[in-house]
Structure 1
Amino acid sequence: MISTTANSIFQRAIEDYHVHDAIDHPISNPYPSDSLEHLLYLKCWIDTVQWHMEDVVRNPEIDPKEGLYWKRRIDKQNQVRTDTVEYIDSYYLQKFADVKPLADAKINTESPAWAIDRLSILALKIYHMRLETLRTDVDQAHIDACREKLDVLLEQQKDLSQSIDELLEDIAAGRKYMKVYKQMKMYNDPNLNPVLYGAKK
């Protein structure tokens, strides 16, 4: 089951990041560069770095210039995240290239990689919510509320994991088929964002 592998890799990436807990600490991906595992680890590392960037930029005392710096870094990071999701979908498009869809095959609401993207983010939510349940500087009400939220996140992880596994099984059997759309984000493209191409004039 891919979800078991993915969840394990996501947990490893998150824990590896928090050894140093530094946004600019270089990644040390332990998986072969041509493997799906490599992409999964990279995906979660990118998400983890971006998670902490989002924390920094939400500091109410942040200097506006520094806030803009972080906002632009987040935009770049989000583009890298999107590109990595598309690499994962490319892996599955190649993997299932020889599968002939059944006559009544249906398309899914999202591609396998975008579902895996949600699973990676969910792993981060679980990690950080679990930390909240271990705090000693808050009252019991906070701990109890976070434990309830953690239970919901864990249930969501279980359900999403099952859905991803079933989706991939359906694609492999021809019951569903992949149709991938590039994200075509316009705000980072100097040829598509009117503010950016207008600045050239």
Structure 2
Amino acid sequence: MISAIANNIFQRVLEDYHRYDDIDHPMENPFDNQSLEHLLYLKCWIDTMQWHMEDVVRNPHILPQEGLNWKRRIDKQNQVRTDTVEYIDSYYLHQYRDVQTKEHARINTESPAWAIDRLSILALKIYHMDQETKRTDVERAHILSCQSKLDILLEQRKDLSQSIDELLSDIASGDKYMKVYKQMKMYNDPSLNPVLYKKTP
């Protein structure tokens, strides 16, 4: 099942990243660059870097210019994240290109890769919530609250994993079909963002 593979890879990414806990540490993807596993590792690494960028930019004592630099870096990272999701969807479009869609086939509300995107973010939430349950510098009420949240996140991962596996099974059997829409982000495009195309020299 792809969800089990993805969840194992995401856990490996989190362990690899937190061995250094450095946003700028270079990624060492252990998988063949033509494989789905490579894309899954890359996807979670990108998410992990962005997670920690979001932590940094929320420092209430950050200098305005430094905060702006981080915000711009987060914007660029988010575009890389979106591009990687689309690469994963391209993998599945190619994999299922010869499937004969049944007459009653239905479309899903999201593509497989965007569901996998949610699974990667869940891995991050679970990892960091689990860390909160292990703190020794907080009241017991904090530990109990975080444990309750962790339990919910784990149940959510179980449900989402099952849904992803069922979606891919339905696509493979022709009971559902993929229809992928590119993310047409406008704010980074100088021809579409009015603040950019109306900018005076």
What is the TM-score with the length of structure 2 in the denominator? 0.99
Q: Which residue of 2 aligns with 1:99?
A: 99
Query: 3-state DSSP class of the match of 2:191?
Result: coil
Match in the other structure for 1:37: 37
Partner amino acid for 1:38?
H
Equivalent-residue separation in structure 1 for 2:191 and 2:200 (angstroms)? 10
Q: Counterparts in 2 of 1:158-197, with a 5 A limit?
A: 158-197=158-197
Say yes or no: does 1:125 pair with 2:125. yes
Provide the aligned length of Structure 1 versus Structure 2. Answer: 201
Partners of 2:135 and 2:188 in 1: CA distance: 39
C-alpha distance in 2, partners of 1:51/1:70?
12
CA offsets 1:1-21 (integer angstroms, 9 cap, x no match): 000000000000111010110
> What one-letter code is carried by the residue in structure 2 that aligns with 1:44?
C
Counting aligned pairs with the same residue, the percent is 76
Q: Provide the rounded CA distance (Å) in 2 between the counterparts of 1:23 and 1:193.
A: 29
- 2:71 match: 71
Question: Pairwise CA RMSD of aligned residues?
Answer: 0.7
Task: Return the offset for 1:197.
Answer: 1.2
Q: Identify if the C-alpha distance between structure 1 residues 198 and 145 changes in structure 2 by more than 3 Å, giving closer, same or farther.
A: same
1:100 CA drift (Å): 1.2
Counterparts in 2 of 1:15-164, with a 5 A limit? 15-164=15-164
Shift of 1:196: 1.0
Q: Distance in 1 between matches of 2:184 and 2:72?
A: 18
Counterpart of 2:11?
11
SS in 2 for 1:134: coil
Q: Distance in 2 between matches of 1:89 and 1:182?
A: 10
If the length of structure 1 is used for normalisation, what is the TM-score?
A: 0.99
Tell me, in whole angstroms, the C-alpha distance in 1 between the residues paired with 2:199 and 2:130. Answer: 46
After TM superposition, the runs of 4+ consecutive aligned structure 1 residues lying more than 6 A away are none
Superposed displacement of residue 200, structure 1:
5.7
Q: CA deviation at 1:57?
A: 0.3
Question: What is the CA-CA distance between 1:122 and the residue it aligns to?
Answer: 0.1
Assess, with a 3 A threshold, how the Cα gap between structure 1 residues 200 and 39 changes in structure 2: closer, same or farther. Answer: farther
1: CA distance between counterparts of 2:76 and 2:189?
11
Cα deviation 1:110-142 (Å, max 9, x = unaligned): 000000000000000000000000000000000
Amino acid at match of 2:82: T
The Cα shift of 1:91 comes to 0.1
